Every structure is written in structure tokens, then in C-alpha cells.
Amino acid sequence: PPASCAPARAAGCSDTAHPTGGGQCRAHSPAQLAAQANVRDIDRRQLDELCRYNQPPELVRMTLEAVLVLLGHEPSTLDWAEMRRSLRSADFISNVVNFKSDALSRGRRAMLSEKYIAGKAVEDVCEDIFRASRACGPLYRWVVSQVRFSEMLDLVGPLRAQLSTLTDERELLAARVGEVNARLAALEASIAGYRADYAALIRDAEALRGEMSAVQSKVERSSALVASLANERVRWEGSDASFAAALTSCASDALLGAAFCAYAGGFAFEGRTALEAEWRNILADMGVPAGSSGSIVDSMVGAAQRLAWAAAGVPQDDVSYGNGIILARAHRFPLIIDPSAAILPLLPALLSRPGAPAARAGAGKAALARASMLDANYLKALESAVRFGTHLLLTDADAFDPILNPVLNRQASRAGGVDRALVRIGEVEVDLSPSFALALFSKSAAAAFTPDITSRCTPINFAVSLPSLAATLLTRVLAAEVPAVAERRREV
């Protein structure tokens, strides 16, 4: 036969073998080793427990009888007393582990298979035996693996003879392959000469291509550099013009921002819009130059602040941004009015931003504690927050208690000779931590806070009105329908 038949004939060694014998033999050899390892792990105390049985369970008796028959005992001589003597033997486990499968005769193997294995679901029987005795489970699996492996040894005998025949044929084919390889080597040597000449020509062509590519790359980079410098010049000129305009309106922007933080917080969206328009008219009448585009919120909220608030889940509209700016810039403790209470989950994010009183004091990093002013024990929570410098949210602020006035006013007194601040809460003087921060919250949009309260706090109105809802919806519709324009608006 030709040399190319050698791999096919070699593959035929496995193809013509027993359809299941080779695979099962390989599978049961690891199974046999695993069963021996499990038997080796059997604790002596487990065997002693079996010996204490006067009348063992049927599955335990069957397993021990199969093990002893496999080790060479005659079934007719095995009673429970004989089994217990074998279990008490110090070398019982070693005899089981060191048992050689080729010592099992065909007759004894057939008897073991017929009496203890055939007709049984081995896995189910193993589970039942394991539940009956943790020692007998591995022993039964060992018996099964020995019987199966012995059967596989009988199947391997004819396969070994066939393998020897195929090995001889393979040697003959290998000799012929050597002759063919010699002829191939001579041909390959002549081909190598032609390849060397071809490779020299290819190298020359590649060198020319590389040189041409390098020159082209330099030309492209030079063109890109010239174009980018032209674009950069346009950007610089635009930045210079916008910076000059910003310098012109810097004073008015600062004045409008301060007025917005001080007075606009308590108004709804339409009130803030009216205030801003009135303030701009006053500045125009006074001849103070103001920014030509954008609102107060646009000039006070930077791109980094917008991204941080958006990541925290703050709605991306002028109402939310304006309230966030007031929270971040106000020096007095905030009085938040939100009938929907939707702002409560966002308060930690808003209060921890750079510039907020809580963040400047370090309280923005702590958890936001909450207490209700309707709770009789809310003063204890307030004393604890003042002393330990935590951030406290007092809800139900419409039930305002004048006891809070010294805290809202930050009326701290210095203890004699000691560098610490004390604030009075009711009849108690409490150490005032520099990191303490307070926020009041009310769900009542109709609550009428007196000027005495609003002068001590910074009112911030989160109530949803029709104009504020329209502004919010307009922002979301713009982002959904024309995302490019919305993105451009955010960039501007």
C-alpha cells in the first residue's frame, strides 16, 4: 500500500477495537483509583461502629460480604461474626487498597457481578448504602470498580494482539515513508534555490514600498498638522473673543449670582424667571453690561458640576440646577420645600458637592442622618449631630421649634481658657463640631414660614409648578428628539 495509508491504518487500530472496551477501560482505571482513595480515607472509628452491630442492615451486610468474597473468602463461610473479625483486623483497609485486579478469577468475578451488581442501578445503590453507612459506600464502589476493571482487562487482550500486528505494519510503512522523504528532500533542496532568488527580488520590492510609504506618511502628517493648526487658531480666536465678553459681564454675572443665591431660593420657577428678568432690566437701566445669552444658572453651573450631578441622578433641567447651586453656595442652613419628597434621595449628592457648607465642613462625607421635628426625641438627634459633626436632616420643618435659633444662627460661645465652641440647645450647652451641618425639610407647599425663620435659613423651593414642569419636559423632549442639539446646548 502507498505511504499515505499509514495514518489511516494506524487510526484503524482504534476503529476496529471493541466499540466500548477501550473507552471503558480508560474510564474505569481512574474510577478504580478514586475508589481506592475513598477507601483509604475511611476512618477506623467508622469500621468500629459497624462492628458494634448485632444484626447489621441488609445493605451493610451485602456490601461487606461482597468485599470479603472479592478478597478471597468463600461465601458459604461468611456469617456476621466472621465479617466482624475481618473488620477488626488491623490490615483490613490495606488489604482492600492493595488488592490486584488480575488476581480476580473469572468465576468469582461472574459470581460477584451476578449477585451484587447485575440488575442494580449502581449509583442509586451507592447512595442507599452511603446513607446506611458512610464506610460501606466507598467499599461498595470499590467492589464495582474492581469487577468492571477486571472485565476490561479481558477485553484488552485481543486488542493488544491486534495492536502488535498493526505496529509491525506501521514499521514497514515507516520504511517506505523514509524513501519517499529522501526524494522529497532532494526536490525541496532545488526548490529552496528558486525561493532564495525569489526572496531577493521580493526584498528589493518591499524596500521600495517601505520607502514610498514613509514619504507618504510624512506628507500626510504634515498636511494634518497644518490643518489642525488652522483649526486651533480659529478656536483660540473664538476663545479670546468669548473671554473678553466674559470679562465685560463678570461684575454683572457675580451680582446676579449673589442675588440669585440670596433671594431666589424660596420662589418657584416662574418667580425666579421674573426676578431674573427684572434684575437684568435694572442693570440695563443702570448701564451695567450683562451677558448677552444664557441664564444665571448657565453662568453658575460649570460642565464638571453638571456631569457630577448627572452621574448622581439629579434631573438635568434649570430648576434642579438652580436649587443645586443654592444648596452649594448658600452660607445659611437650607430650608427645603418639596411636596413630592423626590429630592430626599438626591440630597447627599447635592450636599457633598464642592462649595456646599456640608462639604466644606467635611460632613458631606458622612451618612445623612434624619429626624422629625414632630418626634419628641429629635433634640437628642440634634445634640448628637452637633457634638459629633454629622449631617442632620430635620423633616416636618413646618412645626418649627424656636429652640433651633441658636443653632441656625451659629451662636457659639467659647469656653473660658479652652479652645472649643459651645452652642445652647434648650437648657443644654453642646460642643459645636466644625463639621456639623443641618438641613430643614418640609413637604407642605402651603406652609407659611415667618420672616424670623426665613432670615435664619436659606429657603429652597423644589415644588413642581406648571412652568417648571414645562421647562423640564422641554429639556427631556429636546434630548430625546434632537440629541445633537441637546448635546450642543450642554457644551455651550
Report residue 334 as a C-alpha cell: 437650607
CB 40 within 8 A of CB 97: yes
Taking 50 as the threshold, does the pLDDT of residue 462 lie above it? yes
Per-residue pLDDT band for 181 (boundaries 50, 70, 90) equals very high
Same fold, 5-168 and 250-491: no
Per-residue pLDDT band for 36 (boundaries 50, 70, 90) equals confident
Helix axes 318-329, 250-263, angle to 10 degrees: 90
Per-residue pLDDT band for 42 (boundaries 50, 70, 90) equals confident
Amino acid 365: pLDDT: 42
Per-residue pLDDT band for 177 (boundaries 50, 70, 90) equals very high
CA 186, chain centre distance (Å): 61
Structure confidence by residue, pLDDT tens digits, 307-342: 787 777 777 777 888 888 888 888 888 988 888 888
- Read off the DSSP letter of residue 415: P
Residue spans per domain, the chain: 5-168, 250-491
Q: Choose the weakest-confidence range: 179-188, 288-297, 326-335, 375-384.
A: 288-297
What kind of architecture, by CATH, is found in domain 250-491? 3-Layer(aba) Sandwich (3.40)
- Read off the DSSP letter of residue 333: P
- Average pLDDT score, the chain: 79
Structure confidence by residue, pLDDT tens digits, 45-71: 888 788 888 888 888 888 888 888 888
Structure confidence by residue, pLDDT tens digits, 88-129: 888 888 888 888 877 777 787 788 777 778 777 778 888 888
Structure confidence by residue, pLDDT tens digits, 267-309: 888 888 888 888 888 888 888 877 655 678 877 877 777 778 7
Domain 5-168 in this protein, CATH class: mainly alpha
> Against a cut of 0.85, is the pTM above it?
no
Give the pairing of strands 421-425 and 412-414.
Answer: antiparallel
Give the pairing of strands 428-431 and 421-425.
Answer: antiparallel
Q: Which residue has the higher pLDDT, 401 or 103?
A: 401
Choose among 245, 264, 223: nearest CA to 458: 264
Structure confidence by residue, pLDDT tens digits, 158-169: 787 788 889 989
Q: Return d(Cα 437, Cα 385) in angstroms, integer.
A: 8
Using alpha carbons only, how large is the chain's radius of gyration in Å? 46
Amino acid 349: pLDDT: 76
